[in-house]
Amino acid sequence: MLEIARSELIQIFRNRLVLVTGLVIPVAVSAFLIYRREDFAELGSLGYIAAIVLFTVLAFGLYTTAVTTLATRRQNLFLKRLRSTATGDAGILTGLVMPITVIAVAQVVVMLVVLGAVSTAPAHVPLLAAAGLATTAMMVALAMATAGLTNSPEHAQVTTLPVSLAVIAVASWVGISGTEELTWLKRVLPGGSATELVVGAWNGGLRLVDSLPLLLSTLGWVVVSVVVAGRLFRWEPRR
């Protein structure tokens, strides 16, 4: 698994398109949000900015790149060759998505540290970390499921767009309007509970007992996505 991850990390830094779309663009957008934090805070709060930074990196960096990677490795039969090795299926998939996942998590940490340094630090750092990890797991699982519907790297530009835009839209909706109205709907949508967690962890006022259902809702999307991925994922190109 680690050898697969090392090889994939090398491929990431050799691919200029992946570097731009997966690393440069999410960081640039996040930096702009932090730079204009006062303007965006008027719409929601600092917690809202933190949530948008989180989902920008994870949606357009981690999720999109992971789907493209899996589609590419399937198309060039690399996935099929890996299955002939001693590494199991879970180890293969973990090795392929591990580098971009670690990079995305590092980007999120750096961006949120910068946001806290130039504004106000989060009220509950452990809860914020739990929300970030749960959201990361959700986006990785969604990538696995989407990869099952993606026939090629070019097709990934289409298949990843709905989820990427949806989670950003949900995060903006929840971050700006809160969950006083349509609470159940906002929390059940992908990214809704995670956004409420991030906002509450950053701004304060969210009790631990209230955070558990939000964490479970976010992790519920992990379970659903893994089930869908198990049914749809293919190791060889579709004919």
pLDDT band at 2 (very low <50, low <70, confident <90, very high): confident
Q: How many CB atoms lie within 10 A of CB 178?
A: 16
Q: Which two tokens stand for residue 80?
A: 């099929």
DSSP tally for the chain: helices H, then strands E? 14, 0
Determine the average pLDDT of the residues in 31-41: 77
| Percentage of the chain lying above the pLDDT 90 cut | 43
Say whether pLDDT at 129 is over 90. yes
pLDDT band at 29 (very low <50, low <70, confident <90, very high): confident
Average pLDDT, the chain: 87
Residue 138 CA from chain centroid, whole number: 7
Query: What sign has the CA pseudo-torsion 159, 161, 165, 167?
Result: positive
Q: Is the pLDDT of residue 27 over 90?
A: no
**Which residue shows structure tokens 């739990």?**
130
Q: Which residues of 120-153 are buried (b: 16+ CB within 10 A; e: fewer)?
A: eebebeebbebbbebbbbbbbbbbbbbbbbbeeb
What pLDDT band is residue 163 in, cutting at 50, 70 and 90? very high
Is pLDDT larger for residue 8 or for residue 110?
110
Q: Is 219 within 8 Å of 137 (Cβ atoms)? A: yes
Count the neighbouring beta carbons within 10 Å of the beta carbon of residue 50.
31
pTM, two decimals, is 0.91
Burial 216-237 (b: 16+ CB within 10 A, else e): ebbbebbeebbebbeeebeeee
User: Residue 123: pLDDT above 70?
Assistant: yes
Residue-level pLDDT at 238: 65
Nearest to 135 by CA among 69, 56, 239, 78: 56
Q: What is the pLDDT of residues 172-210, one digit of tens each?
A: 999 888 888 888 899 999 999 999 999 999 988 777 788
* Cα–Cα distance, 185 to 179 (Å, whole number): 9
Distance of alpha carbon 62 from alpha carbon 77, whole angstroms: 22
pLDDT tens across 45-100, in order? Answer: 888 889 999 999 999 889 999 999 898 888 888 888 888 887 888 888 999 999 99
